[in-house]
Amino acid sequence: MEFKLVYLACAAVGYLLGNLQTAVFLSRYLYHDDVRQHGSGNAGTTNMLRVFGMKPGTFTFLGDFIKGILAILLGRLLGGEPGAYVAGFFAVIGHNFPALFGFKGGKGVATTMGIAWMIDPLFGAAATVIGFVIIYLSQMVSLGSLIGFTSFVALVAIFRTDEPLKLILAVLLLVMMAIRHVENISRLLKGTESKLFQAKKPKNQKPGA
């Protein structure tokens, strides 16, 4: 019973941490607005970049990335490495479907990458570089995100054969990322996916307005 309670606690901590929506907090504090009312309607880095600009978008990425890091650290503290994986997985669920914000969150990419850096720093860094290179070349965040994390899963599958739990977590996170990007994947296949700075910011929108 105690064993199960530890992992339940890890799941709860991860989910609650994931509920902390950086994009919502920043858009409300800086602009007295909710980024989910604009653009794609998502509370994530890409929508913040498109709607409010580079600086808020960068801070959104960092905030969500740090959530992934904290989830792993707290999970390890409570339940060791298995507890870290449970907390990390539920942090992404909490980010994507936050009960505190009407289950309307982001797509979990930054939080997932924070987790990747924590469970395998070398491969996490490699996946991040690959992802950003693809984004730079294509100007499509969805493409870079999916290819970047797919590379992480592939590296774990090839070089971490003695760590099955890590591979299971990586695959689950990739599946969740793909599910959240179903519409993007459809547009990518049709060649109609939006470029990064294709959308415009709301008119006359300034900090403190």
User: CB neighbours of 142 closer than 8 A, spacing ≥ 6?
Assistant: 46, 181, 184, 185, 187, 188, 193
The pTM assigned to this predicted structure is: 0.90
| pLDDT at residue 186, as a whole number | 96
Banded model confidence at residue 208, pLDDT cuts 50, 70, 90: very low
Q: What is the rounded CA–CA span in Å between residue 119 and residue 52?
A: 32
CB atoms within 10 A of CB 50: 22
Token reading at 50: 């498109």
* Segment 66-112, tens digit of pLDDT: 999 999 999 999 999 999 999 999 999 999 999 999 999 999 999 99
* % of the chain surpassing 70 pLDDT: 92
- Interhelix angle 164-180/141-159, rounded to 10 degrees, is 160
Buried b (16+ CB within 10 A) or exposed e, 143-160: bbbbbbbbbbbebbeeeb
* Segment 174-191, tens digit of pLDDT: 999 999 999 999 999 999
* Segment 155-173, tens digit of pLDDT: 999 999 999 999 999 999 9
Q: Is the pLDDT of residue 202 over 90?
A: no
Helix, strand, coil percentages, rounded to 5, for the chain = 75, 0, 25
Q: What is the rounded CA–CA span in Å between residue 62 and residue 55?
A: 11
